[in-house]
Each structure stands twice: as structure tokens, then as C-alpha cells.
Amino acid sequence: AQSVTQPDIHITVSEGASLELRCNYSYGATPYLFWYVQSPGQGLQLLLKYFSGDTLVQGIKGFEAEFKRSQSSFNLRKPSVHWSDAAEYFCAVGGLYTDKLIFGTGTRLQVFP
């Protein structure tokens, strides 16, 4: 069955520190993988996506993610976090043979000055 696990419910980092948000997926074929961000009171915005090709994908706002098939992971990273990055981050999995985008439970990021 198609599923996504985000093991970290809440992460706190200092501004300027590096960030890694974990995402593990389960899908029987080649996955399409997405990271979305939801700022307070806002809708979801796509940060980046992976379909095929280069396993390191670059997104908006300085974020990147690496697809590791052997680990069924698609972790999101940023080298230096800004206070405006405080938000909820969702990982999602879809694919060529599915009509669904399945989301994880999200990771809430807090950034301290």
C-alpha cells in the first residue's frame, strides 16, 4: 500500500542552522515524491518534486531533497534556515500507476532567533 512516514512531529532549530526533515515512503513502483510547505493560515505550496533522473532535486526558497531508493527516503534539507521558514512541512508520494497523492502527517518547524 502507498504510505508516507514523517518520523519527526516537531523540530526546533536556530536561525542559520542547517535543517534536515525526514521522509520515508512505501510504494510498489517508481514513486513521484513531493515536499509541500504550509505556513500558518496559508494553503499548501510545492517546494520541490522528484519524478526521475537526478536524485538530488532543487526547490524554491533554497531547499533541496535527495531521493534514496535503497532507503525509501526523500529527506528535505536546507543549509541555513531563516526565521520565515517556520511552517508545517508535508512529504507526499504519488506515481504513474496511482491516482492519489498520499501525504505524511507533517513536521512542524520552529525557528529561534
| Residues near other proteins, by CB under 8 A | 6, 32, 34, 36, 42-46, 49, 51, 90, 92, 94-96, 98-106
Between residues 3 and 14, which has the closer beta carbon with respect to other proteins? Answer: 3
Euclidean distance between CA atoms 9 and 21, whole angstroms: 10
Euclidean distance between CA atoms 66 and 73, whole angstroms: 8
55 φ, ψ (degrees, to nearest 5): -80, -10
Between residues 13 and 103, which has the closer beta carbon with respect to other proteins? Answer: 103
Between residues 21 and 92, which has the closer beta carbon with respect to other proteins? Answer: 92
By residue count, the chain amounts to 113
Q: How far is the CB of 101 from other proteins (least distance, A)?
A: 5
Q: How far is the CB of 16 from other proteins (least distance, A)?
A: 28
Which single residue is written with the C-alpha cell 512531529? 9
Q: How far is the CB of 61 from other proteins (least distance, A)?
A: 16
C-alpha cell at 71: 532507503
